[in-house]
Structure 1
Amino acid sequence: MPDAPASALRPLDLGEGVVEISRRLVDVPSVSGDEASLADLIEAALAGAEHLELVRDGDAIVARTGLGRPVRVVIAGHIDTVPINGNVPGEIRTVDGEEVLWGRGSVDMKAGVAVQLKLAAELVAPAVDVTWIWYDHEEVEASKNGLARLARTRPELLAGDFAVLGEPTAGEVEGGCNGTLRVVLTARGRRAHSARAWMGENAIHALAPALERLAAYEPATIEVDGLAYREGLNAVAIGGGVAGNVIPDLATLTVNYRFAPDKTAAEAEARMRELFPEYELVVDDASEGARPGLDAPIAQEFLRAVDAVARPKYGWTDVARFSALGIPAVNFGPGDPSLAHADDERVPSAQIEHCERALRAWLIGG
């Protein structure tokens, strides 16, 4: 892990501007599994906020108002990032005449986290009760997800009437999300000397039909509650081989299926078994999608308040966890999602400020 810059050691000052808070968050390395330092800073920054009840669960921080409002909303964001690649600390740069915050996590999703932190500290009496959640381990397998852990062990902390995930949406609203399924296909053969290949069965060659099917696959676009979700099916890893002179007897192919929220993960798995019937198939990871939930009155009020038109979310996000709890949820945050995880990850300063203003106006106006 790269050494943290000196700025990462300073306490967070939530009285600073939201762009500067975003830059400070980028300065703190928090690759999945190494979120503790950032969680410590967040906890310390909110510790003096008398209007918030503060709960820490591992490296997840929950802060709640208790004003007795008839409506409670949950606003959440993950604090971990994918691995750093020479893009920490953060920098304010000018790109194509526009001021941007550059650095790992600026898009996914420390700018969104900064917006939430500033509002959590400053909105002492919002028009609704708010539960703010900053959680760990979003960028890795679902079994480690901090929000999922809270759902299992402290479900009362996730209770609410509506939820907003600060995932990058370029300041627009993205409803629901595709589900994701990762399966491993196994082909078996028989070892032999490569000089006498006819005496063996090449397991790597046996994967060719699966690869041909994947190459020919045309992703479906499926409309769900008025939003069009584009599916995807791709090989993402392949393995096999014994030695340079041995016909391999085992080969594996990992396939990722991004499925529209019109189907469950079980239905997606059944589709994969239909498509690859001749292979051993093991599910490696699965997360349900989420329908948009935009027919809920509170969701319509949110769209009007932030002056946005809803679009589909193609990638998976934790809106699915709220959907599974029966809580309508949307994605709304600064940053172009196509730049998430990129080495030139960057978010316009104006977009961070726009999201802060929009969320503030909604929470004040109720």
Structure 2
Amino acid sequence: MPTLDLSATSVDLTRTICDIPSVSDDETRLADLIHEAVSVLPHLEVYRDGDTIVARTNGRRAQRVVIAGHIDTVPINGNVPTRDVQVDGESYIWGRGTVDMKAGVAVQLKLAAELTDPRVDITWMWYDHEEVDADLNGLTRLAATRPELFSADFAILGEPSNGQVEGGCNGNMRVIVRTRGVRAHSARAWIGENAIHSAAPILARLSEYRPREIEVEGLVYREGLNAVRINGGVAGNVIPDLCEVEVNYRFAPSRDAAEADRHVRDVFTGFDVDIVDLAVGARPGLDAALAQEFVAAVGAEPRPKYGWTDVARFSALGVPAVNYGPGDPHLAHHDEERVPIAQIEAVEQGLRAWLSGH
């Protein structure tokens, strides 16, 4: 098994950890290496919970910041090991996890090793199972077993943001909209009632739906309501008695869970609607003093985060949180996933300058 050399550059660390497969539910090997690498650093108190590693400074500073990143990826599709590529004259590292979000983790590991006396105390969190169901998420587990570790004045998630600061995040809801019918032999279709045909108005409402753009604390979030899966049918000669349309709703952080629920039910009035997954968003949190200092230090123009991220977990605990990491979010999970080397270096430089105070 290789070791993680935290004296290497953040670019080289990105290559190393991306070449260690860690698809969700298979993070142990990488977690072992991270745990081994940070446990020998005398300025850090290290805790492990499953495949989540927490490392904390204890300089008794007046303020504490959590900086977190997940170590799992979506499934590999011929894009590991990594390789260096040139696109339009810019140098990239190509491969699964480079964007989402091992380049961000590499920067964090590098800084965790080298920032022995930061201007604020830091809690570093590298966690498992972010890319799957929320109840498996390492932060969910850690919040239940060690809630005190989340105590902080500000939090930064290393999610890909093109090296810019993305405040808060949209909420995320999945619903099943059902139609029911009566089974019959397809040769005598008039005897039954076709549930798939009855789903046509659901698709029509989605096609006609115009998502909102909502300003929250100076950032404009774009919502979305889309069918993502349809399930129905019994056999090639049977009129189906059930059709289920799975709908994904991305909603601005100005809406709470009850408002999001009510809106979706209003859109699908007259249909059976079942909420199967719901995660509220996070407001930008950019009015916090530490957030403003951070934005100024890294020289970024705040933007909204359209996807849901774990900033929402911190926001729910009263900790303002932002996303800040290398990589284009549009390339997350993409087979051509790749991160600009210059962005890795820039994010490291920005975080280092802010955390060191110079």
Same fold per superposition (TM over 0.5)? yes
Q: CA deviation at 1:280?
A: 1.8
Letter in 1 for 2:299: D
Q: CA deviation at 1:151?
A: 1.7
Q: How far does the alpha carbon of each residue in 1:299-346 deviate from its partner, in whole angstroms, 9 at most, with x for none?
A: 110100101110000000000000000001000000001110000000
Letter in 2 for 1:92: D
TM-score by length of 2: 0.99
- Which of the numbers 176, 186, 208 marks the counterpart of 2:200? 208
SS in 1 for 2:265: helix
- Which of the numbers 101, 119, 137 marks the counterpart of 1:145? 137
Superposed, which structure 2 residues align to 1:176-325 within 5 Å?
Answer: 176-325=168-317
Superposed, which structure 2 residues align to 1:123-162 within 5 Å?
Answer: 123-162=115-154
Q: Which residue of 1 aligns with 2:328?
A: 336
Q: CA deviation at 1:219?
A: 1.2
Structure 2 unaligned blocks of 5 or more: none
- The size of the alignment, in residue pairs, is 358
Q: CA deviation at 1:278?
A: 2.1
Letter in 2 for 1:161: D
SS in 1 for 2:303: strand
The answer (yes or no) to whether the contact 1:74–1:163 under 8 Å persists in 2 is yes
Provide the C-alpha distance between the structure 1 equivalents of 2:116 and 2:31, rounded to a whole number of angstroms.
22
- Which of the numbers 74, 84, 88 marks the counterpart of 2:76? 84
Over the aligned positions, Cα root-mean-square deviation in angstroms equals 0.9
Provide the C-alpha distance between the structure 1 equivalents of 2:297 and 2:145, rounded to a whole number of angstroms.
33
The answer (yes or no) to whether the contact 1:142–1:286 under 8 Å persists in 2 is no
SS in 1 for 2:135: helix
Q: Which residue of 1 aligns with 2:62?
A: 70
Letter in 2 for 1:155: P
Provide the C-alpha distance between the structure 2 equivalents of 1:41 and 1:119, rounded to a whole number of angstroms.
16
Provide the C-alpha distance between the structure 2 equivalents of 1:141 and 1:215, rounded to a whole number of angstroms.
28
Q: Which residue of 1 aligns with 2:356?
A: 364
Identity %: 66
Q: Which residue of 2 aligns with 1:116?
A: 108
Q: CA deviation at 1:277?
A: 2.3
The answer (yes or no) to whether the contact 1:71–1:161 under 8 Å persists in 2 is yes
Q: CA deviation at 1:150?
A: 1.4
Answer yes or no: is 1:103 the counterpart of 2:117: no
Q: CA deviation at 1:153?
A: 2.1
SS in 2 for 1:362: helix
Q: CA deviation at 1:209?
A: 0.5
After TM superposition, what 4+ stretches of structure 1 lie above 4 angstroms from structure 2?
none
The answer (yes or no) to whether the contact 1:181–1:265 under 8 Å persists in 2 is no
The answer (yes or no) to whether the contact 1:102–1:344 under 8 Å persists in 2 is yes
Q: CA deviation at 1:149?
A: 1.7
Q: Which residue of 2 aligns with 1:57?
A: 49
Provide the C-alpha distance between the structure 1 equivalents of 2:228 and 2:153, rounded to a whole number of angstroms.
37
Provide the C-alpha distance between the structure 2 equivalents of 1:58 and 1:161, rounded to a whole number of angstroms.
26
The answer (yes or no) to whether the contact 1:293–1:299 under 8 Å persists in 2 is yes
Q: CA deviation at 1:266?
A: 2.3
Provide the C-alpha distance between the structure 2 equivalents of 1:263 and 1:170, rounded to a whole number of angstroms.
26
Provide the C-alpha distance between the structure 2 equivalents of 1:316 and 1:363, rounded to a whole number of angstroms.
26
Letter in 1 for 2:241: D
The answer (yes or no) to whether the contact 1:174–1:312 under 8 Å persists in 2 is yes
Provide the C-alpha distance between the structure 1 equivalents of 2:257 and 2:64, rounded to a whole number of angstroms.
29
- Which of the numbers 89, 93, 103 marks the counterpart of 2:85? 93
Letter in 2 for 1:331: N
SS in 2 for 1:22: helix
Q: Which residue of 2 aligns with 1:30?
A: 22
Provide the C-alpha distance between the structure 2 equivalents of 1:143 and 1:216, rounded to a whole number of angstroms.
34
Q: CA deviation at 1:283?
A: 1.4
Structure 1 unaligned blocks of 5 or more: 1-8
Letter in 2 for 1:68: R
Q: Which residue of 1 aligns with 2:37?
A: 45
Provide the C-alpha distance between the structure 1 equivalents of 2:137 and 2:209, rounded to a whole number of angstroms.
31
Provide the C-alpha distance between the structure 2 equivalents of 1:145 and 1:215, rounded to a whole number of angstroms.
33
SS in 1 for 2:108: helix
Q: CA deviation at 1:198?
A: 1.0
